[in-house]
Amino acid sequence: MSSVKRIAVFTSGGDAPGMNAAVRAVVRTAVYHDLHVYGIYRGYDGMVNGDIKRLDVGDVANIIQRGGTVLKTARSDVFRTPEGRRQAYESLQAHDIDGVVAIGGNGTYTGADIFMKEFNVPFIGLPGTIDNDIFGTDYTIGFDTAINTAIEAVDKIRDTADSHNRLFFVEVMGRHAGFIALHTGIGSGAGAIFLPETETTIDELNNTLRKSVKRQKLFNLVIVAEGNTNGDAHQLANEIKSRNPHFDIKVTIIGHLQRGGSPTAMDRVLASRMGHSAVKALLRGEGGVALGIINDKITYTPFLDAISKNKTLNKDLVKMAEILAL
Ligand code: F6P
């Protein structure tokens, strides 16, 4: 067993629905095990500036259902500097903090890995990002809520698309990964999906569209991942319009709508399990690992692997999406 007595928790990078449920689970599990627990506000910036407050069970009441993060978040520049990290270490020392739970994405893990090597404070990472692009876990906190939000929006777009016989290009988030786009596309029955990981071309889309018109097939929805290499939804729409001037085409960017809102049951339970397990991992003396859930079992992946290895899209799902769009 470790000698961990005082731990801290923070959220960092883009907020994700379910982060609050994770913070609540960390605080309550820590208190249950007689640990002191501190909240660090505004991610690594707060660690550098000493924006740290002791939390008790009551401080995390009534937050499990709230989107965003009560601890606030930031993408920190100062923590990238050795001076910033030294200052952050001094802030942790001022509260005798001897273990940290970091909730965020790849950038958060990279910062934790560097800091741990410099100052030997154990960190456990929790995957908090809507993108679901973290190696070592089937799902990240926030992904399920984001795809449900996106699908609800797309369902509404379909109503108007269908009524006017229009073709909509709907752009969803996912800077480097197509998980949100793939699941939104499958769940909303899209005619085509543009993903960063696959090679769908405008020519292919154009051919599919023309064939659909010939067959009088209803084809009114293309889902575009933000990070796809063919261009954004506007560029794709313009290209198709220039080849088919008679098509009535519209573009919708769902954008940050996908990041907010009350977390789904799935995200609340996932985040609670992860937050709870993170504290138990610190108590066992673990550190330097990203916690995940694979096949419903809690797993631990070294930060370096979580950061450097690519989580790949399920090719069978990509193929299935094409077949179901026939
Ligand atoms: O990583 C989560 C994410 O929501 C991405 O999907 C998106 O590209 C990015 O954050 C947007 O970041 P910001 O809110 O800083 O513009």
- Residue 5's H or E segment, with its range, is none
Please identify, by atom number, the ligand 1 atom nearest to the C-alpha of residue 13: 1
153 touches 257 (CB < 8 A): yes
State the alpha helices, DSSP H only, in 100-230.
106-119, 143-164, 179-188, 202-214
Residue 164 CA to residue 37 CA, distance in Å, equals 56
Q: Nearest C-alpha to atom 12 of ligand 1 is from which residue? A: 14
Residue intervals of the chain classified under CATH 3.40.50.460 are: 144-260
Residues of the chain with CATH 3.40.50.450: 6-142+263-308
pLDDT at 1: 59
Per-residue pLDDT of the chain (326 residues; tens, 9 = 90+): 578 999 999 999 999 999 999 999 999 999 999 999 999 999 999 999 999 999 999 999 999 999 999 999 999 999 999 999 999 999 999 999 999 999 999 999 999 999 999 999 999 999 999 999 999 999 999 999 999 999 999 999 999 999 999 999 999 999 899 999 999 999 999 999 999 999 888 999 999 999 888 888 777 999 999 989 899 999 999 999 999 999 999 999 999 999 999 999 999 999 999 999 999 999 999 999 999 999 999 999 999 999 999 999 999 999 999 999 98
Q: Closest Cα to atom 3, ligand 1: which residue?
A: 14
Q: Is 196 in the pocket of ligand 1 (CB under 6 A)?
A: no
Let me know if 70 is exposed, middle or buried by CB neighbors in 10 A (0-12, 13-18, 19+): middle
Residue 232 CB less than 6 A away from ligand 1: no
Ligand 1 atom with least separation from CA of 130: 2
For the question of whether the overall pTM of this predicted structure is more than 0.95, the answer is yes
Best of 11, 132, 228, 259 to mutate for ligand 1, by most ligand atoms within 8 A of CB? 259
Distance CA 41, CA 115 (A): 18
CATH 3.40.50.450 assigned to 6-142+263-308: yes
For domain 144-260, give the fold: Rossmann fold (3.40.50)
Query: Residue with the nearest Cα to atom 14 of ligand 1?
Result: 14
pLDDT score of 3: 87
Q: Are 165 and 220 in contact (CB under 8 A)?
A: yes
Please tell me if the CB atom of residue 178 comes closer than 6 angstroms to any atom of ligand 1.
Answer: no
Q: pLDDT at position 218, please?
A: 78
Task: Give the residue numbers annotated as catalytic, written as ranges.
Answer: 131
